[in-house]
Structure 1
Amino acid sequence: MADRRHQEVRLALLKAHEALLCASQLLETLRNLRKDGEKCNAQKIVQGSELDFVELGSVWQAPFYEISLKVPKDDMAAANAGVASYCQSVVPVFDNLIANEGNDDVEAELLDYKYILPRKSCFYMSDLRQIHNLIPAESDCGFNLIVIDPPWENSSAHQKQKYKTLPNRYFLSIPIKELTHNEGALVALWVTNREKLQNFVENELFPKWGVEYATTFYWLKVKSDGSLVSELDLFHHRPYECLILGFSPGKEMSSERMLRLKRIPVNQVFISVPGDYSRKPPIGELLLDYVPGCKPARCIELFSREMIAGWTSWGNEPLHFQDLRYFLPTADK
């Protein structure tokens, strides 16, 4: 079954890679990204030098940890003088919805570590037992796009101790129906190429969530020179991952509209250079054309390890890649 799935998408993957190799300008951009990355070496975060949010959230003191947000003040006098004016907002960091409602990124501080919160974004940092706190009181405040990157059990993550994994049965309890906007939601689920896992999603997880399968997109991984990170036909180390898409029907979603929304291109392939271990590319913009309901869409990422402007991020470490040391200052700062 695993080989049959691979053969069904193999031609699309090859065509996508060939198109990349013919795009000289895009290849040059990839090489420049590598050069820009080398400029960050001085700021490179050594493993173990960042906060362990999972450990921090599990101790008895967790409810007392606070994060301080450096929020810009609407101070006309200071603005006229060309001086930035700020106020400090101090709030509990765990089991609490923390929002940057402004139009600019803001800086936050926790235990002497500094983080960047994107504009119009919010996060809720908790373990799986508190995820129900994200369910909106009214369904028209639910989400139209739900991206999920579960910490699936796998030997590689366990051996490298990159992050803690959970048994598959734990994900059955995620309240997708309750998080869905009353006009419906597009659900995008990251999975590996393991046949056992894909069977679990198709036969147990999506049915339990009430999600109807639509199609699968594929993330093809390349090096900065455009070559694949591994041979395409390697059984255990294929250079791509799957993004399974489905629809969670809302209370006010007609069957006719659902039928129109199902017309998503089959076997779409998107390509990028992989980042840190298990870090996924930003695929929100690729999916917005297929998202039902209101515009702009209300978007959430579950099991997030970073934040996106305009999105809600939930997980036990959504600030992981928001560490200030991962960012370079802009020219006007």
Structure 2
Amino acid sequence: MEIDCPVIYQDERCVLLDSPASIQFEPSFKFITSKPTVKPYPLPEKKRDESSEETDPLVQQVQDALGRICSWVHTSSSRVFEREFTNKRRKVDNETSLSATQIPEALPYRKSRLVTDFQTKEELTEQYISMLNIMKQIPPVLSTVPLQDSRVHEYGLEDLYQQYLCNLSSQTVKLKLKGVKTIISEDQQVPDWSTFYIPSGASFIMGDVEKTSNVLLEALKDIKLDAFVLDPPWPNRSVARRNPYPVNRHLGYLRDIPVKHLLKKKGVVAVWCTNKKKYIDFVKDTLFASWNLHYVATWIWLKITAHGDPLFDIHSRMRKPWEHLIIGVTREYLQTHSKRIQKNYTLVSVPDYHSRKPSLHPFLKEWLQCDPTGLEVFGRCLSRNWITWGQQPIYFMNSVYWQCNEIDDKP
């Protein structure tokens, strides 16, 4: 049984991606998605000035991508199309549907996709909250925690925090973490243990990125990586209200991430960024310069509904339905392979849980012409032969997000 191909449609200007399939790490595990949005979100803003909209290059780029996908949907008649997309026509509400180009048949989720309505969150017991506050004050010292020769490993949070954990076995293992509660609903929870799946070859460091660089550097020693993917917790009002993850408003610490020490001579770095120009310029002009990288391209991740509309009006000044992916490369890569990375490219997908980005592995393989090893900074999911580093590196590896077909899933 093979892992589903995440790419539904692709051409030289855009790609339609099945986000859950892009993060699937083993055929026997199926990612359980959140319920996809079916209608665009209306925004409370005044009538827009259409005279300035026609000159916005990003709006034009999005319209072009939607038009290409729409054309493919209407012209495709293959069996693959019938499996991937719904046959039911939807009714378009002209007052709430704000997209410039409609894709009436598009549903970028397979019919077999597992969908749930539950809102999952992880909580720490009071005892472990106090323990975490103490451990954060202690300078981290390298300690490797290997997982091998067993399908189930049990640890307390204090055993793993600020440590380097790696799955050295040839199979996915279960990590039972004491002190973390996984709350599915008010009347259902796992009180003592939370179970997480750790793919073969995957590693992670759970800790503050500002304080645990030495753990990473000592664990890797002389090992160099093909790629870095960063999803920094950029400050914004939405995060401040919901508080889903910790945010540092002083961005200078990002320059100290040891990219130039760990990246191979022909390496690639991709940074997810919000639409705020200050942060975009900071990545291009400050971060890349401090890491000895050359800026080569900016991609757009366009978020659409299950029926193919952008989540928000593409002309809105309040909120855009896309995020930026800023790509930099080393000088050696720039000299020989920079044309592999498309310019002004649009990645289109139905978003899943908050802050869960689609995997870039299909594109990194193409850019690097290999199955790359890399580091995901501020990540919340694990991948084979990759290291995830941040405060919540195994968040989306919790067993409530996966259906396991071969391994007993009971904690």
Place the TM-score, normalised by the shorter chain, in its bin: 0.7 to 0.9
1:1-333 → structure 2 map (5 Å cutoff): 7-24=56-73, 25=81, 26-28=84-86, 30=107, 32-33=109-110, 36-38=113-115, 40-41=116-117, 44-47=118-121, 49-51=122-124, 58-60=132-134, 71-72=148-149, 86=151, 88=153, 92-111=159-178, 112-127=193-208, 128-135=210-217, 141-167=223-249, 168-181=251-264, 183-249=265-331, 253=332, 258-263=334-339, 264-291=341-368, 295-330=370-405
Give distance in 1, aligned partners of 2:164 and 2:146.
13
Q: Distance in 1 between matches of 2:145 and 2:165?
A: 10
Cα contact 1:139–1:180 (8 A) shared by 2: no
Q: Which residue of 1 aligns with 2:21?
A: none
State the identity as a percent.
Answer: 23
Per-residue deviation, 1:319:
1.1
Q: CA deviation at 1:122?
A: 0.7
Match of 1:76 in 2: none
Q: What CA distance in whole angstroms lies between the structure 1 residues aligned with 2:147 and 2:289?
A: 44
Label 1:16 to 1:59 Cα distance change in 2 as closer, same or farther (>3 A): same
- CA deviation vs aligned residue, 1:146-181 (integer Å, no higher than 9, x gap): 000001111110111111111222212212111212
Contact 1:148 1:189 in 2 (8 A): yes
Question: Does the 8 Å CA contact 1:69/1:107 hold for their aligned counterparts?
Answer: no
Query: In structure 2, how many angstroms separate the alpha carbons of the residues matched to 1:216 and 1:277?
Result: 22
Contact kept, 8 Å, 1:71 with 1:87, in 2: the verdict is no
Residue in structure 1 matched with residue 26 of structure 2 by the alignment: none
**Aligned partners of 1:145 and 1:187 also within 8 Å:** yes
**Amino acid aligned to 2:169:** G
Residues 173 and 157 of structure 1: CA distance in aligned 2, closer, same or farther (over 3 Å): same
Confirm or deny: 8 A CA contact 1:171 1:205 kept in the other structure.
Answer: yes
1:33-73 Cα shifts (integer Å, max 9, x gaps): 587443x34xx3444x4449x9577322578xx99998555
Q: Is the 8 A contact 1:97 1:124 kept in 2?
A: yes
How far, CA to CA, are the matches of 1:210 and 1:149 in structure 2? 19
Distance 1:87 1:55 in 2: 25
* Matched-pair contact (CA < 8 Å) for 2:303–2:348: yes
TM-superposed deviation, 1:90: 5.2
Moved more, 107-116 or 27-36: 27-36
1:215 Cα offset (Å): 0.6
Q: State the number of aligned residues.
A: 304
User: Which segments of structure 1 move beyond 3 Å, counting only runs of 4 or more?
Assistant: 26-38, 49-52, 54-58, 66-73, 86-91, 136-140
Contact map agreement 1:157 1:163 (CA 8 A) in 2: yes
Question: Cα deviations across residues 156-207 of structure 1 (Å, max 9, x unaligned)?
Answer: 10111111111222212212111212x2320000101111111222222221
TM-score of the superposed pair, with normalisation by structure 2: 0.66
Asked if 1 retains the 8 angstrom alpha-carbon contact of 2:380 and 2:393, the reply is yes
